[in-house]
């Protein structure tokens, strides 16, 4: 697959997916959505153990590409196809059995929020702004934002963003639970890279299992969640990583 709007690179066991349309603040048109979906499929390879997502230019992502919507012969059909393609890619991203780190800067708006919400750990440069943006151009949310945002920050805060046009600073986004870590400007990508490299060296089954269990806990009962935990840890204890790590820990405990 040829990539123009999205850049895919492999650095050891880390896949780097970069939004590469800086001239339009990495706005997402249909081509970008298709390329992003292709990059996510590549990152599903077993040789990839962590994924880092970032954006070129001054802003991480300004949301959907409004010019492409306005220029479409049939805007409704085009926007439906764009929203469906990008949402499918984001659901695939969220379902990856490996950590997904998103390093953001500048602005995160509209569908960019969907990308952030579909990642596991978000690192933000201090000057980053987070905004809903849909209502400002007369649109409603897509890309799972209406589903994921209330789960991340609570319904009242989600409605505050959606209805008032409020803009969050990176520190506020951290306090609300949208962001895991805030860095000085210009250091977000380096921190994201270091975090991805660290997680790529961690026990892969343990990380994938924790990610799956936490994500599925929203949809199942307490009893079902506990059963899933017991089944998963029983399988985890037989993996090569766990066998070696438990033996090393037990040996150290016996020595002292």
- Give the per-residue pLDDT at 249: 86
172 C-beta neighbours (distance < 10 Å), count: 15
- Give the per-residue pLDDT at 256: 59
How far from 164 is each of 53, 112, 177, CA to CA, in Å?
Answer: 29, 18, 19
Q: Is residue 103 classed as helix, strand or coil in its secondary structure?
A: strand
Sign of torsion over alpha carbons 58, 61, 183, 7: negative
For the stretch 234-243, pLDDT in tens is 999 999 999 9
For the stretch 28-76, pLDDT in tens is 999 999 999 999 999 999 999 999 999 999 999 999 999 999 999 999 9
For the stretch 103-153, pLDDT in tens is 999 999 999 999 999 999 999 999 999 999 999 999 999 999 999 999 999
Structure tokens at 16: 């780097």
Burial class (CB in 10 A: 0-12, 13-18, 19+), 14: buried
CA atoms of 233 and 133, how far apart (whole Å): 42
E strands present in the chain: 6-11, 14-19, 50-55, 100-104, 107-109, 121-125, 129-131, 167-169, 181-183
Which residue did the predictor score with more confidence, 50 or 1?
Answer: 50
pTM for this entry: 0.94
């Amino acid at each position: 697959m040829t990539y123009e709007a999205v850049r895919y690179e492999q650095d050891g066991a880390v896949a780097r997916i970069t939004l590469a349309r800086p001239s339009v603040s990495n706005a997402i048109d249909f081509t970008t959505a298709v390329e992003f979906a292709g990059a996510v499929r590549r990152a599903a390879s077993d040789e990839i153990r962590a994924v880092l997502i970032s954006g070129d230019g001054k802003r991480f992502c300004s949301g959907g590409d409004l010019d492409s919507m306005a220029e479409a012969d049939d805007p409704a059909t085009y926007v439906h196809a764009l929203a469906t393609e990008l949402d499918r890619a984001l659901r695939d991203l969220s379902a990856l059995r490996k950590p997904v780190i998103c390093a953001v800067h500048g602005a995160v708006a509209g569908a960019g929020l969907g990308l952030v919400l579909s990642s596991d750990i978000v690192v933000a440069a201090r000057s980053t702004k987070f905004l809903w943006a849909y209502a400002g151009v007369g649109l409603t949310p897509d890309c799972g934002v209406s589903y994921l945002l209330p789960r991340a920050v609570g319904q009242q805060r989600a409605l505050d963003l959606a209805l008032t046009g409020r803009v969050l600073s990176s520190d506020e986004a951290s306090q609300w639970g949208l962001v895991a870590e805030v860095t000085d400007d210009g250091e977000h990508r380096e921190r994201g890279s270091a975090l991805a490299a660290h997680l790529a060296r961690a026990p892969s089954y343990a990380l994938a299992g924790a990610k799956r269990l936490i994500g599925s806990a929203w949809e199942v009962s307490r009893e079902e969640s506990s059963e899933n935990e017991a089944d998963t840890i029983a399988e985890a204890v037989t993996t090569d990583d766990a066998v070696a790590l438990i033996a090393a820990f037990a040996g150290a405990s016996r020595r002292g």
